Chain A
């Protein structure tokens, strides 16, 4: 059983998922990653379009990373405010941000080193593991969405999580690694955009309450 303060915290966090904008943002990120993986295919490096497309994607990533918070805040002020009020998220302190970036970098470096050096020495073929990358990503995504579903009571995340896992397993079995990764990212991106779109549609159908204040 949760205490009232934890419950208040959960209720405040649930606010960020009500309008579906978080999922739409994640869906766009998945599509950008899918395009990036597709562009990095070995045969593409000989094409004249390879470098311009890579630079374009890099600029798009940077612009999205810089602008996404402002775009979401602006959309929330225009969409969410008249219906469920306005609130602004408390940003992490810089120390916590630095720790998170360092942990993410160490985890990535550790995974790459494990794939390159440690696993072959135990008789594991890294190529086989790369083949199952979408399934592993699906499992992690599913676990994350199950957590969000249980914590915030929003079942649409469970549907997306189960879909991500099923798609990850299916493409890992059926397709070669690069196509499997691209298909998984594009499929999960679609699911997130659909889920976010439906949530936003339902949200916009609720009439805004009167905004008169004492």
Chain B
């Protein structure tokens, strides 16, 4: 395989999925965000968002805390240190790979 293209194959597949990439990108920009905010930002359905968050949590990229704001349930999500580092590495790798392919 071409070395340039191989860089794309090495991308982190947990983050690479478009829905999870949207979630990770949104969480990367803030300290923490709740389920409703993520839904508004990503336009995913509740079930979809929930399953992708579970996958990110399973990989150790996202920390999920179930709490209450008054009587309203709130699910607060934040990227872990590992998640933040992985997203940063993914962004650099993708940009690098694409620039190599297009040049």
Residues of chain B having any CB pair with chain A under 8 Å: 22, 25-26, 29-41, 46-47, 50, 69, 72-76, 91
Contact = CB atoms under 8 A, between A and B. Distances in A.
Which residue among B32, B35, B37, B69 has the maximum number of chain A CB atoms within 10 Å of its CB? B37
A88 B79 CA distance: 12
Interface in A83-98: 84-91
Contacts of A15: 37
A52 B3 CA distance: 73
A151 interface: no
A209 interface: yes
Interface residues of A, number: 24
B47 A85 contact: no
Contact of A89 (B26, B31, B35): B31
A86 B74 contact: yes
Interface of A: 4-5, 8-9, 11-13, 15, 77, 81-82, 84-91, 209, 211-214
Contact of A211 (B29, B32, B36, B40): B36
Nearest to B23: A8
A89 B29 CA distance: 8
A5 B72 CA distance: 31
A87 B69 contact: no
A91 B29 CA distance: 10
B36 A11 contact: no
Contacts of A77: 69
B31 A8 contact: no
Given A5-B25, A12-B41, A211 B72 contact: yes
A73 to B, nearest CB: 11
Contacts of B26: 8, 11-12
B40 A89 contact: no
Given A4-B25, A82-B72, A86-B74, A214 B34 contact: no
A6 B22 CA distance: 11
A110 to B, nearest CB: 33
A187 to B, nearest CB: 34
Contact of A209 (B32, B36, B47, B69): B36
13 contacts: A4-B25, A5-B25, A8-B22, A8-B26, A15-B37, A81-B36, A81-B74, A84-B40, A85-B38, A88-B30, A211-B36, A211-B73, A213-B50
Given A84-B36, A209-B36, A90 B29 contact: yes
A213 B30 contact: no
Contacts of B31: 87-91
A85 B29 contact: no
A22 B30 CA distance: 17
Contacts of A211: 36, 72-74
Nearest to A8: B25
A86 B34 contact: yes
Given A11-B41, A81-B74, A88 B32 contact: yes
